[in-house]
Amino acid sequence: MAFRTFGWLAVLLVVSCAKLAVAEPAATPKLKIRWEKNLLTVSGPQVPGGELPIWYMEAYCRPGSTDRDWRETTIGHSTQLISADPQGHWLHLRCTLKDGVVVDHHIVAGVDEITFRIRAHNPTKKPSLAHWAQPCIRVHKFTGRTQKDYLPKCFVFVDGKLKRMPFEPWATKARYVPGQVWCPRHVPRSDVNPRPLSPVVPSNGLIGCFSADEKKIMAVAFEPYQELFQGVIVCIHSDFRIGGLAPGQTKHIRGKLYIVDADVEALLRRYYRDFPEHRPRGQ
């Protein structure tokens, strides 16, 4: 009798565990990242369009750039892959600038975010004029739009509120057109991209866009940041600031790229948690 009772208990236990296994939702996999031919690609089932390509890195730039030929602003560089996780969850890139500066990028994928840890070091005996740098995020697949119609999918934050592009005032004159640049208060307006410069000062370092079905948001931020930029190849930028490097000096920059549900308030809470220096007073 004891054996039969034990047998029935074992059967019940197996059935209960099977039910729990069926009921428990599968864990969301981490995003994956890969880098080749100067493109950092973020992919995964949670990415609208399947993948998000990023020109990483597009350029390193000198100050005094707002009204100057772009070729005079950029500092030549090369990028190499130092190491990478075979599963696609992290990688280490190294950029070597022609002035001798070395910039290491440690990039880690999470379930709904990519984390950037950047170390810029000047090993030379001369000051470096590397003041800012551009990762160019191409959003044509994410938004399902082309150069002609992707702008209304994109946004920045003005006076603490999400503002879809284009909005007034919208600058139209610059050395190069079209495009739009938003310069924060801590950066000289003479030191940004030579595209139309908005008089509007952004509330924070977030720039992003909505997916084709409006169910997802992709947003990116770096700290410190140089500018927010809506570009000309279906791209958006949060360009990070270096601010120049003295001989032997090292600086650290951090960044986040989010791919999350289209809940703007939740996105802001996440951003302020990751970048508390931008949290509005009283919050």
The domain that holds 266 is classified in CATH as 2.70.98
Supply the range of the domain harboring residue 181.
Answer: 29-277
Strands 161-164 and 154-158, sheet pairing: antiparallel
- pLDDT tens-digit series, residues 244-255: 999 999 999 999
The pLDDT of residue 27 is 79
Q: What domain count does the chain have?
A: 1
Residue at 164 is within a domain: yes
Q: Does this model's pTM top 0.85?
A: yes
Residue at 236 is within a domain: yes
The amino acid occupying position 212 is A
Residue at 24 is within a domain: no
Alpha helices in the chain (DSSP H): 2-23, 70-73, 140-143, 264-274
- Which residues, in sequence order, are CB contacts of 86 under 8 Å at separation 6+? none
The pLDDT of residue 281 is 74
- pLDDT tens-digit series, residues 5-34: 445 444 444 444 444 444 445 678 999 999
Residue at 163 is within a domain: yes
The pLDDT of residue 280 is 82
Residue at 20 is within a domain: no
Residue at 195 is within a domain: yes
Residue at 234 is within a domain: yes
Q: What dihedral angle (degrees, nearest 10) is formed by the CA atoms of 45, 116, 265, 28?
A: 30
- pLDDT tens-digit series, residues 109-142: 999 999 999 999 999 999 999 999 999 999 999 9
Q: b/e map of 31-56 (b: 16 or more CB within 10 Å)?
A: bbbebeeeebbbbbeebbbebbbbbb
The pLDDT of residue 232 is 85
Cβ 178 vs Cβ 229: under 8 Å: no
DSSP 5: H
Cβ 143 vs Cβ 211: under 8 Å: yes
The pLDDT of residue 5 is 46
Residues of the chain under the 50 pLDDT cut: 1-6, 8-24
Residue at 120 is within a domain: yes
